[in-house]
Chain A
Amino acid sequence: MSTTPLLEVAGLDVDFDGRPAVRELGLTLRRGEVLGLVGESGSGKSATALAVLGLLPGNAAVRGSVRLDGTELLGLPERELTRIRGRRVSMVFQDPLSAFTPVYRLGDQIAEAVRAHQDVSRERAAERAVELLDLVGIPEPALRARSFPHEFSGGMRQRAMIAMAMANDPDLILADEPTTALDVTIQAQVLDVLRTARQATGAALLLVSHDLGVIAGTADRVAVMRDGRVVEQGTVDDVFRRPREPYTRELLAAVPRLDATRRPRPGSGEPVLRVRGLTRTFPVLKGTAFRRRVGTVYAVDGVDLEVRRGETLALVGESGSGKSTTLFELLELARPEGGSIELFGQQPGTLGKAAARALRRRIQIVFQDPMASLDPRMPVGDIVAEPLRTQGAGRAAAGRRVRELLAQVGLDPADAERYPHEFSGGQRQRIGIARALSVEPELLVLDEPVSALDVSVQAGVLELLQRLKDELGLAYLFVSHDLSVVRNIADRVSVMYLGRTVEAGPVDEVFAAPRHPYTQALLSAVPLPDPELERKRTRILLAGDPPSPTRRYEGCRFRGRCPLYAELAEQERKRCAVDVPVFEGDGVACHFPRVRSVV
């Protein structure tokens, strides 16, 4: 084996329409090695990965040197690059839904990659596609190869993407945020598949991610990027344990950690919100001219919540667990389909118009994506004033209040005449918070308020939320899939699985001693930004995807994926299959709860 590095990038500059994105970037990657490329949005990490394969869009200008096994790739004619792409270097993209051509079967798309570089028959390529799908852990691969991309779940699509990247035994796999769009338990599965892929092909891996935890658990070496430059490079242990650059230190300090030691302060007194056995179903319809109901989605199927004055309750669960539906049910202020909702001692849906409007004032929401939740065509002043105006405030009074509010969330009152797109992500979320606060609510529902933000910006917004809560005595219902954030802001936590509450309690107790096997799996899947601890942890990998919410399950709905269920005796299993575990108070909905420490 030669001593030349597999990939050597030197003095790489990338400009988009003359604006610099990457500057004087240098990287080396040896055979079989995993290099983590970490940085916040706009740091140029994805542009770097794309530049290696010459896949940047037409408005990009690239200078410098990219050598693969000593061969210069920059400036290579398209025809020769085509021979390298997919064969020697392949790529795994972030969003696997948009990364597959929607009109072709997945098996055909993988077979196409095989035939692009190997002189094999159509049949042989199709067989190979099925083998690859089998290798990445897709059940019934021969059948699933005939599926279209939209028929796969996110995790399954990403597995197929990895299968395609492996098709020609590449020397190097570039993975651009391969797990960002996925839930933590699915992320753990996909990272596992990536490991399999590396073992099967012996390829080196350039892993681009913003998630320090993912890098800590997967990479051998790490390069930290900021504003288009590599600020620090070294082995993961060195960089995470003894960061030399101040930026790296700040970045590591800003990451919320699952193993934080913050003491929660659960509230006391009367609850502002009490939900008991909430259910919500949606019909599954078929037909166009004459629709008929062919099934039911049990989106929320037994949710219990209690939020007290001055406390933060975190509602956690994976996508599809019914978190958002629960929120929207609360905010519709209508009579729930099943179960009961009590807001400030009143039952929404039984109130008159004036009382309903008064209740509307007391509960407000901050959305996940600050760009999507602010009308792009409205000046910020009008946006913030809208709840006030709806409550009947005059234009002048609303205007004065807007200026106050903007100052309160740390913005300039003069910003009221600007439009949302002129602000950064963190500032937009502050606008969203100002809007929610405008009518002096008592309960704020926060739907993933920081998950669209970079960690450093996240920290600022979380700090603001903490301060406002203390100043105004607010109660928060904080919905999140990010357990590390939850550990750092919540007082109590409530865990949902498939539309149902499975465990709740003070956040420190639940995280330190989870009793429900699902909570345990969830917590164990969250990567820690600490390579040493990561190596010592055992991950509880759940099998497959969460089951379909269109079925009503007998007994415990988690038993199909439950690691504990497999260990139970015959008699005990019978109980899981027949009896629905009941949830009560700060309890756990499991027949055989066993504490297991996983953090």
Chain B
Amino acid sequence: MMWQQEDYTISSVPAYLAKRLGYYAVLLLAAVCLSYLLASLALDPRAYYAGRQPPIPAASVNHHLTEIGVNDHDPLLSRFLHWAGHAVRGDLGQTIDGTSVNAEFGRRLGVSLRLLLAGTVLGTVAGVLAGAWTAVRQYRLSDRAVTVASFALLSTPVFLLAILLKTGAIWFNQSTGTDLIQFTGERSPGLTGGFWTILKDRSVHLLLPTLSVALFAVASYSRYQRNTMLDVLGSDYLRTARAKGLGRRTVLLKHGLRTALIPMSTYFSYGFLALFTGATFTETIFGWHGMGEWFIDSIGKNDVSSVVAVNVFAAVTVLLSGFLADLLHAALDPRIRQAS
């Protein structure tokens, strides 16, 4: 992925990927430890209990904080070791309300992944196609239109876009007199029915959040893909492909786009970072109870363990997408696969 891509002196693909995995593991470890320390230092769990009516006695607050391992009277190192000791066994501790972080994690993981996966896949594919298409039609009307649209999208804050989509949906529902588009939560509460009913309900709920995630992906990937495609369009090997008598479609797709995809693998991993951040807003605005919403809530509650858990999730997804980008890069580019 993004890290140290220039190293082509590698023995074989499995060895290369193993090295990358090792590097990511070190990164992950460092990132998780740092985020624990950061969260512990910056957040003040005691504040969560302050100002309650009736006031909670200091002793019982202390007792509770110690119980969930975030009492700031204990030394930071011992708190960290306690947390880390559980974490290596797969236990991410307790939330500030005393429930299991793991359980909450499991509940919210699926929600976030559903949102991100659909949006990412859709946005990536559409972005790549739009970029390639506009590159071939450089400076024509369609190219200019897509360019302007993507710049407009890229300079709109995520939450603003989400709000606009929501407003649009309300207007649409009102003017058609239906409630076709749903924009709160993942499904209609209390709905029962067969498989198709549930599927349809899920889909209409998924529509807007997916769109708001995907639109950003489309906007940014189409820019990158247009650039890499333009580089390739002027290349000697496309001329060779034409000179040997291949048709225009084969030349553009098989020789052009195929090669122009290679540098994109780097962008895919960068892009995931941005998408993840964007999803935090999307979830909150559309009322999806995913990781992003949990994160915002936990900061408000000064909930150390939950905040760290979300950071772990974010780091793992980013590294995982990086690893996938590595795989993709190795699959696309024979120069990286070469055995020396």
B-contacting residues of A (Cβ < 8 Å)? 50, 53, 55, 57, 78-79, 82-87, 90-91, 93, 95, 98-105, 112-113, 116-117, 148, 150-151, 164, 167-168, 284-291
Contacts and interface: CB of A to CB of B under 8 A. Distances in A.
Contacts of A288: 4, 7, 10, 16, 19-20, 23
Interface in B232-282: 234-237, 239-248, 255, 258-259, 262
Nearest to B333: A103
Contacts of B9: 284-287, 291
B75 interface: no
A98 B236 contact: yes
A103 B243 contact: no
B334 A93 contact: no
Q: Chain B interface secondary structure, helix, strand, loop or mixed? A: helix
Q: Which one of B11, B22, B248, B334 has the greatest number of beta carbons of chain A within 10 Å?
A: B334
Nearest to B246: A116
A460 to B, nearest CB: 31
Contact of B338 (A117, A150, A287): A150
A395 B332 CA distance: 53
B340 interface: yes
B237 A101 contact: yes
Given A102-B335, A103-B334, A53 B243 contact: yes
A9 to B, nearest CB: 18
B244 to A, nearest CB: 4
A53 B242 CA distance: 9
Interface string B310-336: 000000000000000000000011110
Contact of A116 (B240, B244, B248, B258): B244
A499 B15 CA distance: 33
Contact of B332 (A95, A103, A164, A168): A103
Contact of A289 (B11, B23, B248, B334): B23
Contacts of A90: 243-244
Smallest CB-CB A-B distances: 8 pairs: A86-B245, A86-B244, A113-B244, A85-B245, A98-B236, A91-B243, A101-B237, A148-B334
Contacts of B248: 78, 82
Nearest to B245: A86
Given A287-B11, A289-B23, A87 B245 contact: yes
A413 to B, nearest CB: 39
Given A113-B244, A150-B338, A288-B16, 18 more contacts: A57-B234, A82-B245, A84-B245, A86-B245, A98-B237, A101-B240, A101-B259, A102-B333, A103-B259, A103-B333, A105-B334, A116-B245, A148-B338, A285-B9, A288-B4, A288-B7, A288-B19, A288-B23
Given A93-B239, A103-B332, A148-B334, A289 B245 contact: no
A113 B23 contact: no
Nearest to B247: A82
Interface of B: 4, 7, 9-11, 15-16, 19-20, 22-23, 234-237, 239-248, 255, 258-259, 262, 332-335, 338, 340
Nearest to A87: B245
A168 B244 CA distance: 9
Contacts of A151: 338
Contacts of B22: 289
A287 B8 CA distance: 9
A217 to B, nearest CB: 26
B258 to A, nearest CB: 6
Q: Which one of A55, A151, A288 has the greatest number of beta carbons of chain B within 10 Å?
A: A288
A196 to B, nearest CB: 20
Given A286-B10, A288-B7, A288-B19, A93 B244 contact: no
A286 B19 CA distance: 11
A374 B248 CA distance: 40
A112 B243 CA distance: 12
B234 to A, nearest CB: 7
B332 to A, nearest CB: 7
21 contacts: A55-B242, A82-B246, A82-B247, A86-B246, A87-B245, A93-B239, A98-B237, A99-B237, A100-B237, A100-B240, A101-B241, A103-B258, A103-B262, A116-B246, A148-B335, A150-B335, A151-B338, A164-B244, A288-B16, A288-B19, A288-B23
B239 A102 contact: no
A105 B334 CA distance: 9
A48 B237 CA distance: 19
Contacts of A290: 19
A83 B338 contact: no
A93 B245 contact: no
Contacts of B237: 98-102
Nearest to B259: A103
Contact of A117 (B236, B240, B245): B245
A239 to B, nearest CB: 29
A286 B243 contact: no
A84 B244 CA distance: 9
A99 B240 CA distance: 6
Contacts of B262: 103
A87 B243 CA distance: 9
Contact of A102 (B4, B242, B259): B259
Nearest to A285: B9
Q: Which one of B16, B237, B247, B335 has the greatest number of beta carbons of chain A within 10 Å?
A: B237
Contacts of B7: 288
Nearest to A290: B19
Given A85-B244, A286-B11, A93 B4 contact: no
Q: Which one of A79, A82, A90 has the greatest number of beta carbons of chain B within 10 Å?
A: A82
A164 B246 CA distance: 13
B138 to A, nearest CB: 9
B228 to A, nearest CB: 13
B232 to A, nearest CB: 10
A287 B16 CA distance: 7
Contacts of B241: 101
Contacts of A105: 334
Nearest to A167: B244
A187 B335 CA distance: 26
A282 to B, nearest CB: 12
A510 to B, nearest CB: 38
A287 B9 CA distance: 6
A93 B248 CA distance: 20
B10 A287 contact: yes
A289 B3 CA distance: 11
Contacts of A95: 236
A87 B244 CA distance: 7
A98 to B, nearest CB: 4
Q: Which one of B9, B245, B334 has the greatest number of beta carbons of chain A within 10 Å?
A: B245
A73 to B, nearest CB: 13
Given A91-B243, A286-B11, A99 B236 contact: yes
Nearest to B235: A98
Q: Which one of A85, A105, A167 has the greatest number of beta carbons of chain B within 10 Å?
A: A85
